[in-house]
Amino acid sequence: MPHDASVSIRPPVLSPRMRRVLISVVLAAVCAVWIYPLLWMVSASLKDNAAIFANEGLIPERPSFENYVRAWKEANIGSYFFNTVFVTVGSVILVTIASSMMGYVLGRRRFVGRGLIFALIAFTIFVPQGYTIIPVFDLLTRMGLGQSLWGVMLATCGGSFVIFVLLFAGYFSQIPNELEEAAKMDGVSFIKTFWFVMLPLARPIVVTVVVMQTLYAWNDFLLPLVVTLANPSIRTLSVGVYAFRGENFIDWGGMTAASTISILPVVILFLFLQRYFIDGLAGAVKG
Amino acid sequence: MTGVSLKDIKKSYGGLEVVHGVDIEIDKGEFVVFVGPSGCGKSTLLRMIAGLEEITGGDLKIHGQRVNDVDPSNRGVAMVFQTYALYPHMTVDQNMGFGLRMNGTPKAEVAKRVSEAAKILQIEELLDRKPKQLSGGQRQRVAIGRAIVRHPQVFLFDEPLSNLDAELRVATRLELAKLHQKLAGSTMIYVTHDQVEAMTLADKIVVLRKGRVEQIGEPMELYENPANLFVAGFIGSPKMNFLDLEGGEGLTFRFKDASTVALSGDAAAQTAVLGLRADQMTLSEPDEGHFAGTVSVVERLGDSEFVYVTTEWGQELVVRVPGGTNTQMGVLTGVVLSGRTHFFDGEGRSFPVFRSLWTKADINRG
């Protein structure tokens, strides 16, 4: 185009401000649909069983905390709470350490068979959890852990382990070689380099893994259900909540109250860590 | 006393040999610069001395001991990386002391060495900062400090200035020269592709090309007596001008136009190329020089001017004239060969003979 050509400026149909408002309204509507089940659960936990299906709307007419008291005392939620904390904390520690170490080697070392290991790891992502529950249960029984909380905890480590390994591998492969070489020149061992240089640098991924594994371990239902079928005392919260389903009668009020109690800690955790969490995920995608 | 000795050092990646048997002797306390274009193997050589690359063949000795298979940290060497390679999550203090702490040096000793190094480099007030809060030059100092605290016998620098801006590069170059004096007795090996850094810093320059040593010598030795066309063209700024000669009758040679030049001396008959630096030619009236050309560009630097002259056969030469000469672009000019001239044979090797002054009698315009 010649430098003196004139350009006609066409005004947009909507001003930028109007466009923002429109988009916000649409997104708010989508959000409302998304969050409705959660609101229903919290609302139901504050009603008695008769009122839940009386179609009185989300705001209870006579809110009461009776369901919470019953859930905590009669349904053993207190001890399930402890079980869940044990399973969650234990699996988070194990998963974070193991997946970061694996990711470090896969991401930074070139060795024969590395591609194959990557392929196998990636392949396991596509195997549905349901298919592996019986073998996992069998494994636990053979190891003598079938009836213990340790067994539940170890089995829970499996969930998204490979995804975490891939996240770490991707992140570690981006760290410049010079850092490792500088440590090598300083005579710092492989393990110490990993622990004091590399792992601190991978903090965004560490936080992501901690949050994701916490959510997974806290909320997982199928696996603990199967593993704890024969031993109700090692049930986790999500399985415990299921016990409100009696043979003839479902205590919806108790169940929703127990559910609310059980999701509270992860919601709080997420609120505190969401900034790091999003950083970690964004960093992993950006590479 | 020999500080570092390389004997027939080779490096291959798979079947591809990239360093083809290099011999270099470096005295203790010497500042040696490896210089060459990218891909010449200079960084590979440095990394082999550091222990970051395995040595495929030959002997590497540091202070008389063969260290081919010794761990990097036990060779008595410390390296400063081009990208500084500071640990981003540690403060300057922690960065410098990291290696010592990890190897069980007592805390008091670490603190002492760190503060010593900080004093030498004048970064005492930066000790509590993180690398990202530092400027490029400050990071560079910290990286050097990390090398100093180890009290190495040999310092290795891998293009340490190339990430700095032009002004800072000159300032840091000066600092490095001073540092070498402060740390008297420590050998320094420095890799760069910048011949100005090589000329200004080195006690001894090693010019490398394609995995081979082209020439080793003191800076002025290389400048005045380059062994071949490559060294002649690489050392010195602006680049040396090369004039191809075509065989004439006897010792009379032709330039690419009809101008002729007469040479004399033992080896004159083998001469194929003349080499002249920018200050070894002068401009004259069009019909008075050895040959003529047109001024294409003039770079005015203040104290001098670089005049680019396109000869009649289309070659561009650069001639240095005093500042304020105010040469005009596009004018026809004569070029006179004067001062010292370098002679090269058909394979690019230089002759020890040179002409220090050309006389009018040598010129025979055709």
Residues of chain A contacting residue B84, judged by C-beta atoms under 8 Å apart: 178
Per the prediction, chain A carries an average pLDDT of 85
Q: What does the pLDDT average to over A183-203?
A: 91
Q: What does the pLDDT average to over A233-244?
A: 83
* pLDDT of A248 above 90: no
* pLDDT of A286 above 60: no
Domain B241-364 has CATH 2.40.50.140: yes
* pLDDT of A193 above 90: yes
Residues of chain B contacting residue A192, judged by C-beta atoms under 8 Å apart: 102
Spatial contact of A256 and A45, defined as CB atoms under 8 Å apart:
yes
Q: How far is A108 from chain B (nearest CA, A)?
A: 15
> What does each C-alpha distance from A181 to A171, B71, B80, B182 come to in angstroms?
18, 12, 11, 27
Task: Please judge whether A186 and B71 are an interchain contact, meaning their C-beta atoms are less than 8 angstroms apart.
Answer: no
Spatial contact of A256 and A264, defined as CB atoms under 8 Å apart:
no
Closest chain A residue to the Cα of B147, Cα to Cα: A186
Q: How many Å is the Cα radius of gyration of chain B? A: 25
| pLDDT band at B50; cut points 50, 70, 90 | very high
User: How confident is the model over B152-211, as pLDDT tens digits?
Assistant: 999 999 999 888 888 888 888 998 898 898 888 889 999 999 999 999 999 999 999 999
Structure tokens at B128: 């509590």
Structure tokens at B277: 């630096």
Task: Please judge whether B85 and A192 are an interchain contact, meaning their C-beta atoms are less than 8 angstroms apart.
Answer: no
For residue A13, the model assigns a pLDDT of 82
Q: From CA B293, how far away is CA B315, in angstroms rounded?
A: 9
Per the prediction, chain B carries an average pLDDT of 88
Spatial contact of B159 and B82, defined as CB atoms under 8 Å apart:
yes
| pLDDT band at A145; cut points 50, 70, 90 | confident
For residue B61, the model assigns a pLDDT of 93
Q: 3-class SS at A37? A: helix
Q: How far is B143 from chain A (nearest CA, A)?
A: 10
For residue B48, the model assigns a pLDDT of 94
Interface of B with A (CB under 8 A): 50-52, 71-74, 77-79, 81-85, 87-89, 98-100, 102-103, 146, 150
Residues of chain A contacting residue B77, judged by C-beta atoms under 8 Å apart: 185
Q: How far is A172 from chain B (nearest CA, A)?
A: 14
Q: End-to-end CA distance of chain B: give it in Å, rounded.
A: 58
Q: Which of B145, B157, B155 is nearest to B93 (CA)?
A: B145
Structure tokens at B250: 């006897």
Structure tokens at B119: 């004093």
* pLDDT of A287 above 50: no
Query: Nearest 5°: phi and psi at B282?
Result: -130, 165
* Contacts of residue B296, Cβ cutoff 8 Å, sequence gap at least 6: B308, B309, B310, B316, B329, B330
Q: What's B2-234's CATH class?
A: alpha beta
Q: How far is B121 from chain A (nearest CA, A)?
A: 19
For residue B366, the model assigns a pLDDT of 43
CA B50-B55-B61 angle, 5° bins = 60
> What does each C-alpha distance from B363 to A238, A267, B165, B337 come to in angstroms?
101, 92, 46, 9
For residue B108, the model assigns a pLDDT of 94
* pLDDT of B246 above 60: yes
Burial annotation B261-298 (CB, 10 A radius, 16+ → b, else e): bbbeeeebeebbbbbbbbbbbbbeeeeebbbbbebeeb
Domains of chain B: which residue ranges? 2-234, 241-364
Task: Please judge whether A188 and B103 are an interchain contact, meaning their C-beta atoms are less than 8 angstroms apart.
Answer: yes
Task: Please judge whether B89 and A201 are an interchain contact, meaning their C-beta atoms are less than 8 angstroms apart.
Answer: yes
Percent of chain B surpassing pLDDT 70: 94
For residue B220, the model assigns a pLDDT of 93
User: How confident is the model over A33-85, as pLDDT tens digits?
Assistant: 999 999 888 888 888 877 777 777 778 777 888 888 888 887 777 888 889 99
Q: From CA A50, how far away is CA B2, in angstroms rounded?
A: 95
Question: Which of B49, B77, B79, B149 to mutate: most A Cβ within 10 Å?
Answer: B79
- Choose from A141-150, A243-252, B186-195 the range with maximum mean pLDDT: B186-195
For residue B249, the model assigns a pLDDT of 66
* Contacts of residue A91, Cβ cutoff 8 Å, sequence gap at least 6: A153, A154, A156, A157, A213, A217
Q: What does the pLDDT average to over B304-311?
A: 93
Q: From CA A125, how far away is CA A167, in angstroms rounded?
A: 13
* pLDDT of B100 above 80: yes
Note the pTM of the prediction, 2 decimals.
0.80
User: How confident is the model over B251-298, as pLDDT tens digits?
Assistant: 777 787 777 777 776 667 778 888 999 988 889 888 888 888 999 999
Work out the angle between the directed axes of helices A129-142 and A149-156 (0-180°, nearest 10): 140
Task: Please judge whether A182 and B102 are an interchain contact, meaning their C-beta atoms are less than 8 angstroms apart.
Answer: no
Residues of chain A contacting residue B88, judged by C-beta atoms under 8 Å apart: 201
For residue B182, the model assigns a pLDDT of 87
For residue A238, the model assigns a pLDDT of 85
Q: 3-class SS at B271? A: strand
User: How confident is the model over B101-147, as pLDDT tens digits?
Assistant: 998 899 999 999 999 999 988 899 999 999 999 988 899 999 999 99
For residues B34 and A270, which has the higher predicted lDDT (pLDDT)? B34
Q: From CA B189, how far away is CA B207, in angstroms rounded?
A: 13
Domain architecture of chain A: domains with CATH: 12-64 (no CATH), 74-286 (1.10.3720.10)
| pLDDT band at A122; cut points 50, 70, 90 | confident
Task: Please judge whether B52 and A200 are an interchain contact, meaning their C-beta atoms are less than 8 angstroms apart.
Answer: no
